[in-house]
A and B are shown apart, each in its own frame.
Chain A
Amino acid sequence: MQEIVIKTNKLTKRFGDFIAADQITFDVSKGEIFGFLGANGAGKTTAMRMLCGLSLPSSGEATIAGFDIYKQTEEIKKNIGYMSQKFSLYEDLTILENIRFFGGIYGLSNAQLKYKSEELLTELGLEKEAKKLVGSLPLGWKQKLSFSVAIIHEPKIVFLDEPTGGVDPLTRRQFWDLIYKASDKGITIFVTTHYMDEAEYCNRISIMVDGKIEALDSPANLKKIFQSESMDDVFYQLARGAKRSD
């Protein structure tokens, strides 16, 4: 049995009468690529924000990397990485400056920073662009860079909120290569996405409808259960019952 790194029990978030996330319960193992699917407004981002410590749950329990999300947020923060929907590097800083800054606020030493930034630049093939402003890079490169920056401090878990929005299929494929590499190193990946081809790349996926998790299994098992040819079809069967959307 693999070590459990994310464990939630009936995690709920209410905004007044509106229940954005309704009694979410699931476990994620170390090194797993866990896909978090759902239509717009299903509550994915809310759930993810609770797990990252950006938002306090209304009720329920959860532990991240063994730390309690109510009491040990500082410990959790040291052990997770986060990449948001919006592109979130500084466009007016160079690639190297961004790497050094994010490494710096996670407390990496100078030697570590030097080693890490060289490794990262080589891996992405950006050695020559290191002194270029991030704003001048194409979107695909930016996304790959911001993923690499999100795991620069070697977190136990990295949360990716729709990381590949607006990126072409080839770049998406390359992006997923990076995700696999990180997973091989033992980093747990928690990823939300709209793309069903990406869902296929995950070890397990959960599908949220109206704030509840309606299905949770490996892509192959889900297709069997719903007697579908594709993940598209599984998702459609579940999501058409949804009452709310943006």
Chain B
Amino acid sequence: MKQFFAFVRKEFAHVLRDRKTLFILFGMPVVQILIFGFALTNEVKNSKLVIVDQAKDLASQQIISRIEASRYFDIEKAVMDPAQIESAFREGKIKLALIFPANFSKDLMHLNRAQIQVIADASDPNTANMLGNYVSSIIQDQQMALNQGNKIPYTIVPEIRMLYNPQLKGAPNFVPGVMALVLMLVCVMMTAISIVREKEVGTMEILLVSPFKPLLVIISKAVPYLFLSLINVISILLLSVFVLDLPINGSVALLFAESTLFIITNLTLGIFISIRTNSQQVAMLISLMGMMLPTVLFSGFMFPIENMPLPLQIISNIVPAKWFYIIVKSIMIKGVGFAAIWKQTLVLLGMTVLLLGLSWKNFKIRLA
């Protein structure tokens, strides 16, 4: 055990001495989260919207002026008929359309209940969802204002229709994606490089001649990166909660446990790469091309897996980030518990055990 701590201490010394790399490792997730985060918020502000006001009465005007006052929307003044709306959506000129039926005011006054149709461009599902929510809450505000001092409450029902992608499938939530990406990068690449460096420099021979157990070499190499990665998880979550206002709906403890599992999966992957390669450059290339690219492509973070051809869908199953992405999304967004994600957890666990076994076997062969 004492030997193990001596080794781990040395690994920390390596990591902490290399200030530039350390800065990149901690800076990268922050920058990525901010870039993704603000790119997304900018898009949602000042979204173009058309209003087809077939009612042209006081009630509809009140809602329109509320929307005008909001910083989320820019009203395209041109009055369009439904056919024009369709083409405006197709050309991407507008993100949202609001249609007041001709009898809007009448319904509201006599039936105490009126409808507004809201159509959103859901090819960008996240944005569509958000815009729909903004409009709904603006309408709700108006409803509350109307109901002040009224005995029989008025109800305005926004009928939201998602164009192109009604189920909002593959809603790209970038926080789980960035988490998967950053952890992948830190764990796989950094671990691989750190072990291969020992081979390149020649210190690996010395370690193999020493009575230090090969398995412990592997584990000690991974420990500092486990810590770095956990710090990254914390910083990503803090940023997303406090800067981007994305809440964590599920259990934070569960999220950390799952992140730790994913980190360990990646560490073993990095270890495996390092055992099969002999130069830092090769290790880096394999980690970048062989791991980063599939992570971006097949995790479901950028491109919905459901829309891929079957062979690619099958390939996506061997990408650990895919499973982690599902897990994080489920916990953060849907707020589910372990019962809903045990299968994905089991897959990650299986991958880890397999990789660890393969690594150890190959490591021993080098000794012989």
Contacts and interface: CB of A to CB of B under 8 A. Distances in A.
Interface of A: 52-56, 74, 77-78, 80, 82-93, 97, 100-107, 109, 159
28 contacts: A53-B208, A53-B209, A53-B367, A74-B211, A77-B209, A78-B211, A80-B209, A82-B206, A82-B209, A82-B210, A85-B202, A86-B202, A86-B205, A88-B201, A90-B14, A92-B13, A93-B10, A93-B17, A104-B5, A104-B7, A105-B3, A105-B6, A105-B7, A105-B212, A106-B3, A106-B210, A107-B3, A109-B2
A104 B208 contact: no
Contact of B7 (A88, A89, A101): A101
Contacts of A105: 3, 6-7, 207, 210-212
B202 A54 contact: no
Contact of A77 (B13, B203, B211): B211
Contacts, number: 81
B202 A55 contact: no
A92 B17 contact: yes
A93 B6 contact: no
Nearest to B203: A88
Q: How large is the interface on B (under 10, 10 to 19, 20 to 34, 35 or more residues)?
A: 20 to 34
A77 B3 CA distance: 14
B368 interface: yes
A101 B208 CA distance: 14
Contacts of B43: none
B6 A54 contact: no
Interface of B: 2-3, 5-7, 9-10, 13-14, 17-18, 201-203, 205-212, 367-368
A107 B10 contact: no
Contact of A89 (B203, B212, B367): B203
Contacts of A92: 13-14, 17-18
Given A82-B205, A100-B6, 14 more contacts: A52-B209, A54-B208, A55-B368, A78-B211, A86-B205, A90-B203, A91-B201, A97-B10, A101-B10, A104-B5, A104-B6, A104-B9, A106-B211, A107-B3
A147 B137 CA distance: 75
Nearest to B217: A105
Nearest to A77: B211
Contacts of B9: 101, 104
Contacts of B211: 74, 77-78, 105-107
Query: Which 9 residue pairs of A and B lie closest in terms of their CB atoms, listed nearest first?
Result: A104-B6, A86-B202, A82-B209, A77-B211, A101-B10, A105-B212, A88-B202, A56-B368, A78-B211
B10 A90 contact: yes
Nearest to A149: B206
Nearest to B18: A92
Nearest to B220: A105
B295 to A, nearest CB: 29
Contacts of B7: 101, 104-105
Nearest to A80: B209
A86 B208 CA distance: 15
A108 to B, nearest CB: 9
Nearest to B209: A82
B3 A104 contact: yes
Nearest to A82: B209
B206 A93 contact: no
Nearest to B3: A105
A90 B12 CA distance: 13
Contacts of A93: 10, 13-14, 17
Nearest to A107: B3
B206 A88 contact: yes
Contacts of B207: 105
A55 B367 CA distance: 6
Contacts of A97: 10, 13
A107 B2 contact: yes
Nearest to B207: A105
